[in-house]
């Protein structure tokens, strides 16, 4: 019985991913995000794996709207934000989810009169968190560059020290051989 439930759950995720893909394909601005290797199908499948699926997904009349899509991207953003803070790496698809989440957050901020207050709060959270994440990324890159320079200088210093020790020991042995 658990195998049947597992297959049904996977089927629901696939259905959800397909409906999400159809919704995203209708927005030309979102289509502009897909210039890399990651395609919409991969992105939607990843989102389906990460979010809590709506209960009415099995309903034939179920349609995805902007508020639902924003909620899904918010859930993903939250998880991926934590992942990047802890591990400092995201896949291209995960980076794309963050970018599209910011796109939806900006879109909702522009439509404040039409949006629910919780969506406005979530959009502000995404925009603020993303700016902090970009700041952390810059610091991480800066520290990585500094660490790389320190390693290079340290390696160079070891090599120079080795060469100086070699010359000094060679000079001592040459002077010991002088009459």
Domain boundaries, the chain: 2-177
Cα separation, 125 vs 137, whole angstroms: 18
Cα separation, 119 vs 62, whole angstroms: 21
Residues in the chain: 179
pLDDT of residue 170: 47
Token pair of 68 as six digits:
């639902």
pLDDT of residue 161: 53
Task: Let me know: does 20 contact 35? Beta carbons within 8 Å.
Answer: no
pLDDT beneath 50: ranges in the chain: 164, 166-168, 170, 173-179
Phi, psi of 164 (to 5 degrees): -65, -40
pLDDT of residue 141: 62
Quote the pTM value. 0.72
pLDDT of residue 72: 92
Name residues whose C-beta falls within 8 Å of residue 178's C-beta, 6 or more positions apart in sequence. Answer: none
Task: Let me know: does 33 contact 103? Beta carbons within 8 Å.
Answer: yes
How many angstroms separate the Cα of 86 from the Cα of each of 83, 90, 133, 136, 164?
A: 5, 11, 12, 11, 43
pLDDT of residue 77: 93
**Cβ-based neighbour number of residue 61 at 10 Å:** 5
**Cβ-based neighbour number of residue 100 at 10 Å:** 22
The residue among 82, 93, 85 whose CA lies nearest residue 140 is 85
Cα separation, 168 vs 158, whole angstroms: 15
CA angle 81, 87, 92 (to 5 degrees): 65
pLDDT of residue 103: 93
């Amino acid at each position: 019985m658990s195998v049947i439930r597992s297959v049904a759950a996977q089927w629901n995720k696939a259905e959800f991913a397909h409906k999400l893909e159809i919704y995203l394909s209708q927005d030309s601005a979102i289509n502009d995000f897909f210039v890399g290797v990651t395609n919409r199908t991969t992105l939607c499948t990843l989102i389906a794996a990460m979010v809590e699926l709506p209960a009415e997904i099995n309903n034939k009349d179920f349609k995805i709207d902007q508020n639902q899509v924003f909620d899904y991207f918010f859930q993903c953003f939250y998880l991926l934000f934590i992942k990047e803070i802890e591990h400092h790496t995201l896949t291209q698809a995960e980076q794309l989810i963050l970018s599209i989440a910011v796109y939806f957050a900006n879109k909702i901020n522009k439509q404040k009169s039409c949006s629910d207050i919780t969506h406005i709060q979530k959009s502000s959270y995404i925009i603020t968190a993303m700016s902090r994440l970009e700041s952390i990324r810059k610091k991480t890159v800066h520290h990585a560059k500094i660490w790389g320079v320190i390693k290079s200088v340290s390696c160079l210093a070891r090599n120079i020290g080795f060469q100086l020790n070699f010359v000094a020991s060679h000079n001592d042995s040459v002077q010991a051989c002088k009459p």
